Amino acid sequence: MYIAIEGIDTAGKSTQIAKLAKHFPDAIITKEPGATEIGKEIRDIVLSARTKSKKAEFLLFLADRAEHMQEVIQPNLDKMIISDRSAVSGVAYALIQGEVSKEDLVSLNNFATDNTYPRKVFLLRLTKKELNFRLSQKDLDGIELRGSDYLLNIQDAIIEATKLLGLELVEIDATQSRNEITKNILNNIKDSND
Inform me whether the pLDDT recorded for 52 exceeds 80.
yes
Which residues are CB-contacts of 52 (< 8 A; sequence separation ≥ 6)?
A: none
Handedness of CA 59, 64, 65, 69 (dihedral sign): positive
pLDDT value, residue 44: 85
Handedness of CA 189, 84, 135, 147 (dihedral sign): negative
Asked whether 57 and 63 are in contact (CB, 8 A), the reply is no
pLDDT value, residue 191: 81
Q: What values do phi and psi take at 141, rounded to 5?
A: -90, 180
pLDDT grade, residue 194 (50/70/90)? Answer: low
What is the third-level CATH fold of 2-32+79-193? Answer: Rossmann fold (3.40.50)
- Nearest Cα to 127, choosing from 169, 172, 89, 91? 172
Number of Cβ within 10 Å of residue 127's Cβ equals 14
pTM assigned to the model: 0.93
Over residues 57-82, the pLDDT tens digits come to: 899 999 999 999 999 999 999 999 99
